A = this chain, B = another copy of it.
Amino acid sequence: MITNSFYSQDVHGPYELHDIGNFDLEEGGRLRNCQLAVATHGKLNAAKDNAILVPTWYSGTNKIMEQVYVGPGRALDPEKYFIIIVNQIGGGLSTSPHNTPFPGGMANFPKVRIGDDVRAQHRLVTEKFGLSSLALVVGGSMGAQQTYEWAVRYPDMVKRAAPIAGTARNTPHDFLYTETLIEAIISDPAFKGGNYGASSDVHAGLLRHAKMWGVMGWSTEFYQQNRPAQLGFSSVDDFVINFLGGYFGVMDPNDLLCMAWKWQRGDVSRHTGGDLKAALARVKAKMFVMPISHDMFFPVADCEAEQKLVPGSELRLIHTIDGHLGLFGTDPEYAKQVDKHLTELLASAV
């Protein structure tokens, strides 16, 4: 366990920590008194049918989901819905390598799967919030992986689902990209096999990792059209160092690696012996599959191929040259499109 002030109420609050007890993981590990960091907006109605669950992506927390996706007049309107944003395990706010005591933390933190997050969230929303249905599950990237897992694992509970810029079964290409992210961190001698003294010791590795997000996270059009300048940066270099480097540089290496391992192995076909078609046929939710037009590692083609396997689903393409990290809401047109589709989805009878 180490201290990292980035993971705090000051930066990401307010959120509540919910202790869901000892939690056994699919790969065999056990999280003792597993804590889920949860932020809620709005109120649960009497019928308990207005709950929306929002899982988080790699490096993301409840805070960016609130800032970019939630608000009065938005699709995720706290005046109409009870919105539950759950930080993923390993994300730094919920139980994670950096905040777990010796000997189970840091490099010894057990392997966590997307299915573990979804089971933990299920325990939370059924036992703590007394829910038996979710009006919508929506998330981007690793949040989309969790959204698919929810829809396949608990098909009767999920009424609507919107995986944005993510897949039900991670692709070999995406696995390899994530592998290079991992290696950027662990190749830093200061990483010391995960036993560094402070997250910031691994700054060199974290910055290499950030630069690789600079390549795959946006798109060639993003740079050609000088979006970094539009976002207030003086050059591509300034953008990569001071935006991406600043963003990832404050995070904890072991936490990122926990999420990366999980991301690589997202796969709903684990429920059906590897048969993706059979797994996705289990979905009962009304689903809008929402890839981003210029996404380089959850590309449209991969998302569309899965969408065709989900009964009654629709493909809703989001157009932005900001690529995968359009998820951050850097392009104002992005949020408008997301809101339009989610509003329509939420209005659909189920």
State which of B176, B180, B222 has its C-beta within 8 Å of the C-beta of A173.
B222
Contact in complex: B173, A219 (CB < 8 Å): yes
Give the contact stretch, choosing among A110-118, A125-133, A204-212.
Answer: A204-212
Contact in complex: A220, B180 (CB < 8 Å): no
Looking at the assembled complex, report how far the CB atom of A117 sits from the nearest CB atom of chain B, in whole angstroms: 24
Cβ–Cβ < 8 Å partners of A218 in chain B? 173
How far, in whole Å, are A220 and B224 apart by their CA atoms in the complex?
23
Closest B residue to A179 using CB positions: B211
Looking at the assembled complex, report how far the CB atom of A296 sits from the nearest CB atom of chain B, in whole angstroms: 7
Number of chain A interface residues as a range: 35 or more
Closest B residue to A215 using CB positions: B177
Contact in complex: B296, A211 (CB < 8 Å): no
Cβ–Cβ < 8 Å partners of A177 in chain B? 215
Q: A215-B216, A216-B215, A296-B296 are in contact. Are A223 and B183 (CB under 8 A)?
A: no
Contact in complex: B215, A180 (CB < 8 Å): yes
Q: Report if A174 contacts B (CB, 8 A).
A: yes
Contact in complex: B215, A302 (CB < 8 Å): no
Cβ–Cβ < 8 Å partners of A215 in chain B? 173, 176-177, 180, 216
Q: A187-B187, A301-B221 are in contact. Are A175 and B296 (CB under 8 A)?
A: no
Q: Report if A85 contacts B (CB, 8 A).
A: no
State which of B220, B221, B302 has its C-beta within 8 Å of the C-beta of A220.
B302
Contact in complex: B171, A236 (CB < 8 Å): no
The winner among A176, A211, A212 for most chain B CB atoms within 10 A is A176
Could you give, for residues 177-193 of chain A, a 1 whenever the CB lies within 8 Å of some chain B CB and a 0 otherwise? Answer: 10110011001110000
Q: A208-B187, A212-B180, A215-B177 are in contact. Are A172 and B236 (CB under 8 A)?
A: yes
Closest B residue to A222 using CB positions: B173
The winner among A173, A222, A223, A297 for most chain B CB atoms within 10 A is A173
Cβ–Cβ < 8 Å partners of A211 in chain B? 176, 179-180, 183
How far, in whole Å, are A204 and B222 apart by their CA atoms in the complex?
32
Cβ–Cβ < 8 Å partners of A171 in chain B? 220, 223-224
Question: CB within 8 Å of B: which of A214-249?
Answer: 214-216, 218-224, 236, 240
Q: Report if A299 contacts B (CB, 8 A).
A: yes
Contact in complex: A176, B219 (CB < 8 Å): no
Contact in complex: B212, A173 (CB < 8 Å): no
A sample of 13 inter-chain contacts (CB < 8 A) reads: A171-B220, A172-B236, A173-B224, A176-B236, A180-B212, A183-B211, A184-B208, A187-B187, A187-B188, A187-B204, A215-B216, A220-B301, A220-B302
Residue positions of A touching B, CB distance < 8 A: 171-177, 179-180, 183-184, 187-189, 204, 208, 211-212, 214-216, 218-224, 236, 240, 296-297, 299, 301-302
